[in-house]
Amino acid sequence: MTSPAPVVLLFLDPDFPDGRVADASKPQLLVTDLGVTRGDGIFETMLAVGGSVRKMQAHLDRLAGSAGALDLAIPEQDVWRRAITAAVSRHRTENPPADPAADELVVKLVVTRGVEGAPAPTAWVQASPAGASGRRQRETGIDVIFLDRGYDSDVAERAPWLLLGAKTLSYAVNMAALRYAHKQGADDVIFLSSDGRVLEGPTSTVLLAHVKSDDGTPVKRLITPQLDSGILPGTSQGALFAAARAAGWELGYGPLEPQDLLDADAVWLISSVRLLAPVNTIDGKQIGTPAVQKELTAELSGLFAGIH
């Protein structure tokens, strides 16, 4: 039997400035916690490489945005920063990384609305080793399918209570979409709006690249769906766009339709842990050519690797 991956767990607790250490292999939440009974809460997933958390400020800012959308009062960013640093360093002390090339930890921040009737949210930081699947997807690429999310692309503004731009704990639909894709033999999903716009993956942002303009002249253009279409603003997309702009890429924001992805020179799903996963096929149709895709993936992955 393989032993479970080591997890470091720290609860945010006013009596413990660097977080209260808890045993992740033992029950820690009350069954009346609203995160459990209603999925009422928010989270972030970050990657630490060589002990350093990438894009920490962007994640803390998005956590604050999600908290605002849910009217959740959460601890200050400095409190999170201390607990995150403590969790990562404790994990590396207790489990010294054997292979420097695979020295990656997933760091999760979770806040629930707390126990029913209690005044304060429940909040914790959790650090665990990154699995191999992200690394595999970066290397081999992925096959994806389009799935209808059932909402139109204007719904986020019209119905803010749907919390579409927040990273909430209610991910059962996203996980169901992934299971549906796996049953079809695909690796992942690109959601479409009911009015036919490209949205996002269940745990990732969609990117596409063009290396030729309409008249055939060479360009380097990176495009993502527009951020106000009811998608989560990706911290990876934001950071990669900044690095790509500095490296001379043109940037664009949708609206995108399925055909735009099928006509692209390369398409990726990007997120904090898997990084840049090239999309080989969508609904069985090959995207671009393998040589161009490989070259662009190497260039953008290099830019993205330089981000801290």
> With contact defined as beta carbons under 8 Å apart, do 174 and 167 qualify?
no
Angle at 248 between CA 243 and CA 250, to 5 degrees: 90
The CB-of-167 to ligand PLP minimum distance in angstroms stands at: 6
Residue whose CB is less far from ligand PLP, 115 or 276:
276
> With contact defined as beta carbons under 8 Å apart, do 226 and 255 qualify?
yes
End-to-end, the C-alpha distance of the chain in Å comes to 37
Cα 73 from Cα 119, distance rounded (Å): 10
Residues near ligand PLP, by CB under 6 A:
45, 200, 202-205, 232, 234-236, 271-272
> With contact defined as beta carbons under 8 Å apart, do 262 and 206 qualify?
no
Residue whose CB is less far from ligand PLP, 159 or 175:
175
The CB-of-200 to ligand PLP minimum distance in angstroms stands at: 4
The CB-of-26 to ligand PLP minimum distance in angstroms stands at: 27
Cα 293 from Cα 175, distance rounded (Å): 28
Q: For residue 154, count other CB atoms closer than 10 A to its CB.
A: 14
Q: CA-based diameter of the chain, in Å?
A: 64
Residue recorded with tokens 């006509």? 263
The CB-of-54 to ligand PLP minimum distance in angstroms stands at: 10
Residue whose beta carbon is closest to ligand PLP: 236
The CB-of-234 to ligand PLP minimum distance in angstroms stands at: 3
Residue whose CB is less far from ligand PLP, 59 or 220:
59
Residue whose CB is less far from ligand PLP, 126 or 235:
235
